[in-house]
Chains A and B, each alone.
Chain A
């Protein structure tokens, strides 16, 4: 078996009396696309933030490329982050910077690249997500939500990471734009040969981008399998989620 690029072992995370993650075990093989399903507020974003080191787990371990990075700081943490891309739920573009400065942020800051070279590379990457050079000098507030997602995608892939996290990449987009974003994600992840972890509650996206699907419920991964088996999981929770029914073992979060 190949070494997983990312592994979460018994990860727990709570906020006061709110035990969000209660022992999450999951791993992703290099170059594979894993989709994690879960209801709103089930802790999907918290799981990603723990994996990225934006939050520290209360218990459990995070392994990146076989190395324990749970408590890493400084240089060791940077070494991991330079190999990881992240597309945030809200896009998280820096609104004081132009589109190209957003895309080239890591090149300009952490890597200290010359502005002319960085801009050239940013425009090149924008082309990959079907955005013309004309948007490069605009500010994020001047472009549409779908375009912002593309810019965020460009920022996540510009340094050719080995692993990319997608936090609800299609939430808030109309179905057609969402489908276009999904196509772009698949295309770019394939082109990089990167592994991808996508979290979503959108079944259409999940079917489209996943090699494997897992389901997060009550702070644990309760099912995991190949994307092709999602309709025959034999798990009531998964079935309810796949068919979007309000009645079943999962109580709607109201």
Chain B
């Protein structure tokens, strides 16, 4: 038999060759992404900072995400309260609704929902913007004008996302808890004062901080995926569209993976 290790021979592709190539490509991609992330983080940490760009990005990433984050949080909080009530009902534990809502929102859902919504709104937006700049030679133009894209484009987005995500998550926490309270009081006949007192009694600083630390990491992931995919997007509208899609899917998966890893870590250290 002749050498049939590649698909060229027309038969079934050799699965080992396929897996080998895939693995190599994956490691190469992880390497490039890590290098890109490292350079972006360094540019973000070491002054001088481009404050004009940073402020623009804080508005674009933080302020304009408020409606999306607020709406998502109120619905998640409301649905959570309903489900805990129904589930708790089965063994007479429905009075724990406020406790579980505040725990679930602060430790987990506030950050995750904000992270996922911004993986859509912000990551895809960054990737499309940077991608369009790449294919219209604006990134090359930046370099010839002695502006480093890492400092001028990527670092401000990275910093803005890492700084504003915790604030957005804090707002999502408040609105999420409020969503649970609304449903409990108006649909499930909870007493408003008791509900709020239970919420406050059960609320801990640690749970809130866990969510906020997650938020910082999610912010970094969201900005990095958008910048990275945009910066290597290929020519044409399809290239930019592809970059936006890839970045969004990548950011969403990485947010969930990071959430799991961070949750494990916090449980391990006993917070």
Contacts and interface: CB of A to CB of B under 8 A. Distances in A.
Interface in A19-57: 49, 52, 54
Contacts of A2: none
A106 B141 contact: no
B146 A82 contact: yes
Nearest to A112: B48
Contacts of A52: 144
A92 B137 CA distance: 5
Interface magnitude class on chain A: 20 to 34
A105 interface: yes
Contact of A110 (B138, B140, B145): B145
Interface string A50-86: 0010100000000000000000000000100110111
Nearest to A85: B144
Contact of B141 (A78, A84, A92): A92
Nearest to B56: A96
Interface in B124-147: 133, 136-138, 140-147
A89 B147 contact: no
Interface residues of B, number: 13
Nearest to A107: B145
B268 to A, nearest CB: 42
Contact of A109 (B140, B144, B146): B146
A106 to B, nearest CB: 5
B152 interface: yes
A52 B139 CA distance: 13
Contacts of B152: 109
B144 A105 contact: no
Nearest to B129: A96
A78 B146 contact: yes
A86 B147 contact: no
A239 B184 CA distance: 85
A156 to B, nearest CB: 9
A88 interface: yes
A90 interface: yes
A93 B142 CA distance: 10
Given A86-B141, A88-B141, A81 B146 contact: yes
A152 to B, nearest CB: 9
A89 B144 contact: no
Given A92-B138, A94-B138, A109-B152, A86 B144 contact: yes
A106 B133 CA distance: 18
Most B CB contacts (10 A, CB to CB) among A49, A52, A88 go to A88
Contacts of B141: 86, 88, 92-94
A34 B34 CA distance: 42
Contacts of A49: 140
B147 A109 contact: yes
B129 to A, nearest CB: 8
Interface in A91-112: 92-95, 105-106, 109-110
A54 B144 contact: yes
B137 A89 contact: yes
Contact of A90 (B136, B144, B147): B136
Contacts of A85: 144
Interface string B213-224: 000000000000
Contacts of A109: 145-147, 152
B137 A88 contact: yes
Contacts of B144: 52, 54, 81, 84-86
A94 B153 CA distance: 12
Contacts of B140: 49, 54, 88, 92
B232 to A, nearest CB: 14
B12 to A, nearest CB: 25
A20 to B, nearest CB: 15
Given A88-B140, A93-B141, 5 more contacts: A85-B144, A89-B137, A92-B137, A94-B138, A110-B145
Interface of A: 49, 52, 54, 78, 81-82, 84-86, 88-90, 92-95, 105-106, 109-110, 155
**CB-CB nearest 6 A-B residue pairs:** A110-B146, A92-B141, A92-B137, A88-B137, A106-B145, A86-B144
19 contacts: A54-B143, A78-B146, A81-B146, A82-B146, A86-B144, A88-B141, A89-B137, A90-B137, A92-B136, A93-B138, A93-B141, A94-B141, A94-B142, A95-B138, A105-B145, A106-B145, A106-B146, A106-B147, A110-B147
